[in-house]
Chain A
């Protein structure tokens, strides 16, 4: 059986890494063999999955040695989760996008076989800024794409762009899993998320409220799932995990055209008055 693979995209700071790490942990709790791949030059995705130390990023290694071997870039984290970080250049130099695509080539060259995992989770940097960051989708690595949104105009704008990329790669077998509403920056625009899902022909997989424990977990280098296993956020992540495992063949998304998107944002929101 080939692994089920999920990529988490979304606007910068919308909680992708937080959720991706928790998700990996939730999958591991289900007894699945998990590969967690951080596709961000920051290489911070697997931090909560490791008790100590860091994953040596693939690009970091590739830049400094020519003899790369799988054991130096694959690290075992909590619950037996295997972690990889793509890494990339320092901010402001080089081409991070190429770094991401090179990582995937290297992993293949190193013989890292996805077939030996049950699920693969990709945590991808911010928006799809260039072709390099679309590689998890383009090359058919991730079958399902989930997009984190907070409901703010800009987070939906980013999501809409990601939906375009997903639609483009639908022909390659990429499917949109749905939206993850993550409201840590406030719930003021929460109602927009289901409306946006409806407008673009997708659904909201799960909604996560602001949870002060998330930061605490972060400081302890743990996922929220392992820090507060019984909290609402942990339950939400587990719900997300099971919904993702149940996905079959969702239809291609219908991202909004520029004008339609502007109209969507301009439409008055329902419970606005009551919220004040």
Chain B
């Protein structure tokens, strides 16, 4: 009898029955992950015991079967031992053997044959553990991936060397000698019964068929990745794991289940051109250029990381494979392929390949030039995204699309929708910097699209022909701060044709604003007298006063609403921005001074009582050295609750005294 002809699970069931028939009180036999066997026993008095047959491989090789008794009486174990040997002699099973002890190294070649040692034991379609059937076994990148399936449930395990760097982040790892099993995918609902513990079976099998010194090695090919970030991450077979782990945008680059749009970055995964669209990073991440919150947003980014092989031999074939795989997964897939420097240097015929696999309207090739500005990719991709998913739909009254306020998962999304609902307006679709396809499909159902007034949104949607679509496109100041949010809601109501907000709706909005002002009051009280410095050192840093450059935030209004006094330091040569002059006029909570050189600024800042400092520089060492707490534009969130949260952050910053004392040691 071989493993091929019957499942080991069934065999162990028979073994347990056989042992029970011999009066051993054995209820079940289970494999242990180190190659041992566990026996569930019950003695005459009905007490439960567990005995363990040590794996007799490796060091124990010469000793023959030896049992760990546990709490069981010695006589019981002696009987068990005899009965077990008898049964095994009569019903041999290859997995009771220890083989492969002398194997030094298992070489896994990508696309190559499976190692001889498992030819018998691991047969896709045949090998089973209880109701799980081994579906697929693929060697890749120095690892062996085994997928077991039971109906809808799938478990994917990876066998690697124990030193494999991929194990660093893995959650469940079973060491087997020098090897290790880790869970890559798991659809089982916990707690997992032994009958479903395929990893137990596989670990046992590996332990019995390899030696304690066996190592596993691959030919360095690429492999599926398992990086996860904000959940729902799908395997991306086209990015070598090492790279994914290495780059901070690992997750952003892996494709997520459920999105029909895949943005294929064709070239180096860390190409800077791939950064700008990846705006679903955490709120305080230095790469985030947009306050999107930490909520996971649908992405669908597939980085096609070039290997040396691709650069020299061209990557067309591998691209075709990628496209076919994506298409197989979803016949309606939409591909935006972003070219990178390398891909253009080698000059692969990407359009030809795309056309071979996809219909013309299912893809777009984004060709930002070599020195692409940060928003070049956005300007290319967003109009297409809208075009690719928009469907002709009947228009419905009182629906609005929101552009530039994040997707459905943004922390403020529900609140804003609620405020509009109170005015009888429904949110139809949200777009930028993330989106859901089902929302885009019905984009045209809304007669009105409200975009945030800021340059990033303007650049991203510059190519959208706003008059062509049935949805009227208007631009409003985004809802930052309580006042700002109120104005925004009123603006939306006005634009949708409801005229000025009146009656019950108006009352509801006022009530909501009042409630938040009440929440804000104690924070404002805590902030009393605290102030924040805004510095424009040159013409180029005057952007902090320009709402268009900071997501539409009117920073002076917002800061004072949140309870801060503002000190402005302006270089003498910087003409005071109009916005600023208007805002400062006749206001006691805003002071204004000029300086003429860096030393003077430092002195002025040192003397100033502002503890906070608005900056765009992550490690603003001069500011830190002066004991200032850096505040970033990303600190501010839209919406009423967002305003309260922003104020809390500022208050926490103002309370933070550490830098005042120790900041000067952070000079470098």
Q: Are B312 and A89 in contact (CB under 8 A)?
A: yes
Q: Are A95 and B311 in contact (CB under 8 A)?
A: yes
Across-interface contacts of A99 in B (CB, < 8 A)? 312-313
Chain B, 214-230, contact with A by CB distance < 8 Å: what is the 0/1 string?
Answer: 00000111000000000
Q: What are 9 sample pairs from A and B whose C-beta atoms fall under 8 A apart?
A: A59-B313, A62-B309, A62-B312, A63-B312, A93-B313, A93-B346, A94-B348, A95-B311, A102-B308
B316 within 8 A of A: yes
Bound-state CA distance A58–B191 (Å) is 53
B residues bordering A, Cβ < 8 Å? 109-110, 219-221, 308-316, 345-348
A32 CB to closest chain B CB (Å) equals 32
A241 within 8 A of B: no
- Identity of the chain B residue whose Cβ is nearest the Cβ of A132 in the assembled complex: B312
Across-interface contacts of A66 in B (CB, < 8 A)? 109-110, 219-221
A99 CB to closest chain B CB (Å) equals 4
Q: Are B309 and A98 in contact (CB under 8 A)?
A: no
Q: Contacts A66-B220, A89-B314, A94-B313 given; 20 further ones with Cβ under 8 A?
A: A62-B312, A63-B313, A65-B219, A66-B221, A67-B219, A89-B313, A90-B313, A93-B348, A94-B312, A94-B315, A94-B348, A95-B311, A95-B312, A95-B345, A95-B346, A98-B311, A98-B312, A99-B312, A99-B313, A102-B312
Across-interface contacts of B221 in A (CB, < 8 A)? 66
B143 CB to closest chain A CB (Å) equals 14
Bound-state CA distance A59–B308 (Å) is 10
Q: Are B219 and A94 in contact (CB under 8 A)?
A: no
- Identity of the chain A residue whose Cβ is nearest the Cβ of B110 in the assembled complex: A66
B50 CB to closest chain A CB (Å) equals 46
Chain A, 83-99, contact with B by CB distance < 8 Å: what is the 0/1 string?
Answer: 00000111001111011
Kindly identify which residue among A65, A93, A95 contacts B316, using a CB–CB cutoff of 8 Å.
Answer: A93
Bound-state CA distance A95–B312 (Å) is 5
Across-interface contacts of A65 in B (CB, < 8 A)? 219
Across-interface contacts of A59 in B (CB, < 8 A)? 312-313
Bound-state CA distance A102–B315 (Å) is 16
- Identity of the chain A residue whose Cβ is nearest the Cβ of B316 in the assembled complex: A93
Bound-state CA distance A96–B220 (Å) is 22
Across-interface contacts of A95 in B (CB, < 8 A)? 311-312, 345-346
Q: Are A94 and B220 in contact (CB under 8 A)?
A: no
B464 CB to closest chain A CB (Å) equals 36
Across-interface contacts of B308 in A (CB, < 8 A)? 62, 98, 102
Across-interface contacts of A63 in B (CB, < 8 A)? 309, 312-313
Bound-state CA distance A63–B307 (Å) is 11
Centre residue among B220, B309, B315, B316 by max chain A CB count within 10 A = B309
A39 CB to closest chain B CB (Å) equals 14
Across-interface contacts of A89 in B (CB, < 8 A)? 312-314
Across-interface contacts of A88 in B (CB, < 8 A)? 312
Across-interface contacts of A94 in B (CB, < 8 A)? 310-315, 346, 348
Across-interface contacts of B347 in A (CB, < 8 A)? 93
- The 5 A-B pairs with the shortest beta carbon distances in the complex, nearest first, are A93-B314, A94-B314, A66-B219, A99-B312, A89-B313
B644 CB to closest chain A CB (Å) equals 55
B142 CB to closest chain A CB (Å) equals 10
Bound-state CA distance A94–B221 (Å) is 19
Across-interface contacts of B310 in A (CB, < 8 A)? 94
Across-interface contacts of B109 in A (CB, < 8 A)? 66-67
Bound-state CA distance A65–B309 (Å) is 11
Across-interface contacts of B345 in A (CB, < 8 A)? 95
A90 CB to closest chain B CB (Å) equals 8
Across-interface contacts of A96 in B (CB, < 8 A)? 312
B502 CB to closest chain A CB (Å) equals 67
Centre residue among A59, A65, A93, A99 by max chain B CB count within 10 A = A93
Bound-state CA distance A65–B109 (Å) is 9
Bound-state CA distance A188–B499 (Å) is 91
Chain A, 63-92, contact with B by CB distance < 8 Å: what is the 0/1 string?
Answer: 101110000000000000000000011100
Bound-state CA distance A75–B309 (Å) is 23
Bound-state CA distance A217–B4 (Å) is 61
A65 CB to closest chain B CB (Å) equals 7
- Identity of the chain B residue whose Cβ is nearest the Cβ of A63 in the assembled complex: B313
Centre residue among B308, B345, B347, B348 by max chain A CB count within 10 A = B308
B126 CB to closest chain A CB (Å) equals 30
Bound-state CA distance A99–B311 (Å) is 8
B217 CB to closest chain A CB (Å) equals 10
Across-interface contacts of B315 in A (CB, < 8 A)? 94
Across-interface contacts of B110 in A (CB, < 8 A)? 66
Bound-state CA distance A94–B315 (Å) is 7
- Identity of the chain A residue whose Cβ is nearest the Cβ of B345 in the assembled complex: A95
Bound-state CA distance A54–B368 (Å) is 43
Centre residue among B109, B110, B313, B346 by max chain A CB count within 10 A = B313
Bound-state CA distance A89–B315 (Å) is 11
B159 CB to closest chain A CB (Å) equals 19
- Identity of the chain B residue whose Cβ is nearest the Cβ of A60 in the assembled complex: B313
Bound-state CA distance A63–B314 (Å) is 10
Across-interface contacts of A67 in B (CB, < 8 A)? 109, 219
Bound-state CA distance A276–B312 (Å) is 49
Centre residue among A62, A95, A102 by max chain B CB count within 10 A = A95
Bound-state CA distance A65–B219 (Å) is 8
- CB interface residues, A 110-124, toward B, < 8 Å: none
- Identity of the chain B residue whose Cβ is nearest the Cβ of A100 in the assembled complex: B312
B25 CB to closest chain A CB (Å) equals 54
- Identity of the chain B residue whose Cβ is nearest the Cβ of A101 in the assembled complex: B312
Across-interface contacts of A93 in B (CB, < 8 A)? 313-314, 316, 346-348
- Identity of the chain A residue whose Cβ is nearest the Cβ of B342 in the assembled complex: A95
Bound-state CA distance A63–B219 (Å) is 12
Across-interface contacts of B316 in A (CB, < 8 A)? 93
Bound-state CA distance A67–B109 (Å) is 9
Bound-state CA distance A150–B348 (Å) is 35
A137 CB to closest chain B CB (Å) equals 20
Bound-state CA distance A89–B312 (Å) is 6
- Identity of the chain A residue whose Cβ is nearest the Cβ of B346 in the assembled complex: A95
Bound-state CA distance A63–B311 (Å) is 11
Across-interface contacts of A98 in B (CB, < 8 A)? 308, 311-312
Bound-state CA distance A24–B219 (Å) is 35
Across-interface contacts of A102 in B (CB, < 8 A)? 308, 312
- Identity of the chain A residue whose Cβ is nearest the Cβ of B218 in the assembled complex: A66
B243 CB to closest chain A CB (Å) equals 16
Bound-state CA distance A102–B309 (Å) is 10
Across-interface contacts of B312 in A (CB, < 8 A)? 59, 62-63, 88-89, 94-96, 98-99, 102
- Identity of the chain A residue whose Cβ is nearest the Cβ of B308 in the assembled complex: A102
